[in-house]
A and B are shown apart, each in its own frame.
Chain A
Amino acid sequence: MYEKDGEQYFIVDSHLHFWDASPENWVPGQEEYAKGFISCFHDYQSLGPPETHDTIEKFRKQTVEEFRRHVFDEGKVDFGILESTALKDWYAKGFNAVEQNAVLLDQFPGKLRVNGSFDPRNGEAGLQRLEQDAETYDLKGVKLYTAEWKGASRGWRLDDPAAIPYFEKCLELGITNIHVHKGPTIWPMDKDAFDVSDVDHVATDFQGLNFIIEHVGLPRIEDFCFMATQEPNVYAGLSVVTGGLMHARPRFFAKVMGELLFWVGEDKMLFGSDYGIWTPKWQIEGLLDWDYPDDTYSDFPRWTDASKRKVLGLNAAKLYGLDVPEHLRLAPDQGTPAAKDDAKLVSGGVL
């Protein structure tokens, strides 16, 4: 629980990692990619405040002690969602595969949940694995990396026919939160990792699932905004938005926040630190302190106390069925919904 100026906030960090990208875990022959991927993450860390930067050696492998300090002791996070990323082509034990993340569950009982993942290129075996994982880890969500390489394949799309049985399985198993990486290029993955057109199709076909678009399709936020404004079950995952822009590019951050608050709305935005890239503390404090820098932003929705409570915790608590203490909840009518009128003009007319 975070306390500021006598006010208390319920904080959910919906995007945490616990990875091992140390050289001992690099797949022989794939060292260049294994090294490049984590180095690219490390470069992104430099966009945060200098006092939060790590050496590459330290950055490559997270520890339980550091996780406790950064997330719970200093970050004051009430509940965290661990996102899983296998990447077993490059990392022998996985980068932060579900079983690697799950090590933390026993360390911090009642404070963490782990999301699984799937890859439709694994066919029937992948479906069975998803079922097993759902049982083992009581999955309520998955994290999908459509840009992940597999053999000769350089990625997949959510609306590939092979992916449909997986979403049906998710519905059946009660895995309702589908986090999808749609964001900046991560070397050596392909650039089209941020194309969001496939989300549109599956969000329409699977109304019972929530699609949390991590990194909001940066830098092409207009594609994401035009799509999200029309799909009630599409959410904005703020990982990288806060970490990558709030400190390094504050004016861009203000523009992006304004656009998201207008098109997507404060009811459908979720804070995520993307730790171990960036620590949660400065991002949470920054979001609580944040406001538009000047009056050129006057026709964007305001960032109110209700907005902060929703985005920093209550929205994710709703998606994951978390029990929020009575005094930290909001009355149902508090806040400002997104502008929904005229969505048709956007899709049919502007482009």
Chain B
Amino acid sequence: MSTADRVLEALGEVYDPELDEPITDLRFVTSCDVSPDGDVEVRLRLPTPQCAPNFAFLMVADARAAIVGVPGVRRVHVVLEDHYTGREINDAVDAEGGYEAAFPGEGTERVDALRSLFHRKALVARQWRVYERLIAAGERPGEVSSWVLAELPDGDADVRRCDELRRALGLDVRPEAPAFVRPDGSPIAAQDLDRWRRSGRLINTSLELNGGMCRQLLQNRHGLAPEEVHA
């Protein structure tokens, strides 16, 4: 595998913080160039020049962090294209400064709180997908809700992402931990099951809608060919 391929693979682990989808799937990566010496330049684009600056910052900073660890990479330059706060973000990330460096006085705590909220939403939505697939496959609702992590199907992308989200939220990921939990790690009580499912479905619909809008806007803005619709 070439260094460029490894860089792209690493970018596949960088997520849009709200949509909880890889920036590569969302077609946010415009280009990825690697010089013979291992200097990397990655260009990113977003659906509109006004996409929230805090989300934009997180993606650029996460992209840089992901690439730095790739073997064979020397210097890393990530450029956010055509965004109304692009210069502030690019300069701050180049200087390895945090959010405060890009937007002084805006407060890192709010960005961290936002990221955590999105992680919690994503966990509820993805667990709901896993749960509903199991029910559709014939498992019984009352029993599935008391499963432990070790009982979940291997190789399921949502299961894998749930594991990452649980780690990010500091939740139990041992095989004997409950498979379906609230974002605070507590299991779903039987009497809360219906409301938990409804909440999961609602958040999932919201993510689909949001993702659909972002894809449509990006496609229109850059004249891209339509991609296959996931949902």
Establish whether residues B209 and A252, one from each chain, have CB atoms under 8 Å apart when the complex forms. yes
From B183, B195, B210, B220, A219 is in contact (CB under 8 Å) with B210
Which A residues are in CB contact (< 8 Å) with B206? 219-222
Write the A187-222 contact mask toward B (1 if CB under 8 angstroms, else 0): 111111000000000000000000000000011111
CB < 8 Å neighbour of A259 from B117, B120, B196, B202: B202
- Nearest residue (CB) in A for B120 is A351
Q: Which B positions have Cβ atoms within 8 angstroms of A?
A: 48, 50-52, 117, 120-121, 124, 182-183, 192, 195-196, 198-199, 201-203, 205-206, 208-210, 212-213, 220
Task: With both chains docked as a complex, state the minimum distance between the C-beta of B183 and any C-beta of chain A, in angstroms.
Answer: 6
Given A221-B202, A222-B203, A225-B202, is A256 in contact with B52 using a C-beta cutoff of 8 Å? no
**Contact in complex: B205, A255 (CB < 8 Å):** yes
* A342 proximal to B (CB < 8 A): yes
Q: Provide the main secondary structure of the chain B interface.
A: helix
List the A side residues contacting B205 at CB < 8 Å.
Answer: 221-222, 252, 255-256, 259
Q: Secondary structure of the A side of the interface?
A: helix
Minimum C-beta distance from B103 to chain A (A): 13
In the assembled complex, the CB of B207 is this many whole angstroms from the nearest CB of chain A, namely 9
In the docked arrangement, what's the CA distance between A351 and B206, Å? 14
A-B contact count (CB 8 A): 68
Encoded as 1 (CB less than 8 Å from any B CB) or 0, chain A from 218 to 244 comes to 111110011000000000000000000
The CB with the most chain A CB atoms within 10 A, among B48, B120, B182, B209, is that of: B209
Instruction: Answer whether A346 and B199 are a contact pair too, CB < 8 Å, given A184-B213, A351-B183.
Output: yes
Number of interface residues of A (CB under 8 A): 29
Mark A324-351 against chain B: 1 for CB-CB distance below 8 A, else 0. Answer: 0000000000000000001001100111
**Complex Cα–Cα for A184 and B51 (A):** 11
Is A25 located at the chain interface by the 8 A CB criterion?
Answer: no
Q: Which of A189, A220, A351 contacts B210 (CB 8 A)?
A: A220
Q: Is the CB of B198 within 8 A of A219?
A: no
Min CB distance A184 to B, Å, is 7
Cβ contact within 8 Å between B202 and A192: no
Q: How far is the CA of A342 from the CA of B210 in the complex (A)?
A: 27
- Whole-angstrom distance between the alpha carbons of A190 and B85 in the complex? 12
- Contacts known (A218-B209, A259-B205, A263-B202); A351 close to B117, Cβ less than 8 A: yes
New A-B pairs, 11, CB < 8 Å, besides A221-B205, A342-B192: A191-B50, A191-B51, A218-B209, A220-B210, A226-B199, A252-B208, A345-B195, A350-B183, A350-B196, A350-B199, A351-B183
Q: What distance in Å separates the Cβ of B117 from its nearest Cβ neighbour in chain A?
A: 7
What are 17 A-B interface contacts by the 8 Å CB criterion?
A184-B213, A187-B48, A187-B50, A191-B51, A219-B206, A219-B210, A220-B206, A220-B210, A221-B205, A222-B121, A225-B202, A256-B209, A342-B195, A345-B192, A350-B183, A351-B121, A351-B183
